[in-house]
Each structure stands twice: as structure tokens, then as C-alpha cells.
Amino acid sequence: MMASDLIHACDRLAQATDFLGALHMAIETLDERVQSPLLTVLGEAQRRIGDAHNALDEMHQAAMGRAPA
């Protein structure tokens, strides 16, 4: 994977994170009975995006010849 591919993937993950943040705010306006399951799913999506971002960061660090932080 080239550095430009990693940068593009990180940008896409940042966009997805922003989208999930906006979605979270919208969900909070819903009835409480609807909120809970949606927030559970949203939390899992946010966790997975975080994991993907960490993996990309590790690949970027390896490509740059540095150990991950």
C-alpha cells in the first residue's frame, strides 16, 4: 500500500467519524426507546472505525520505518 493510499484511507475514516458524530446527535433527538439500540449499533461502528484507523496508522508508521506509538 502506498503512502497516498494510506492518506486517502485515513481521510475516508475521518469523514466516516464525522458522519457518525452527526448521526449520534440526530439519534439523541429520538424517543428514548429508539435511542438505546441505535446508540449500541453506533457505538460498535465507532469502535470498528477506531480499530481500522489504528491499523492504518500502524501501517503508515511501518511504511515510514518507525515503530507504532
Domains of the chain, by residue range, sit at 3-63
Residue 58: predicted pLDDT: 85
In terms of residues, how long is the chain? 69
Task: Decide if pLDDT at 68 tops 70.
Answer: no
Rg (C-alpha) for the chain, rounded Å, is 15
| CA distance readout (Å), 28 to 31, 50, 67 | 8, 21, 40
pLDDT of 2 above 80: no
Write down the pTM of the prediction. 0.67
- What was the pLDDT predicted at 1? 57
pLDDT score of 66: 67
pLDDT of residue 67: 57
C-alpha to C-alpha distance for 25 and 60, rounded to whole angstroms: 31
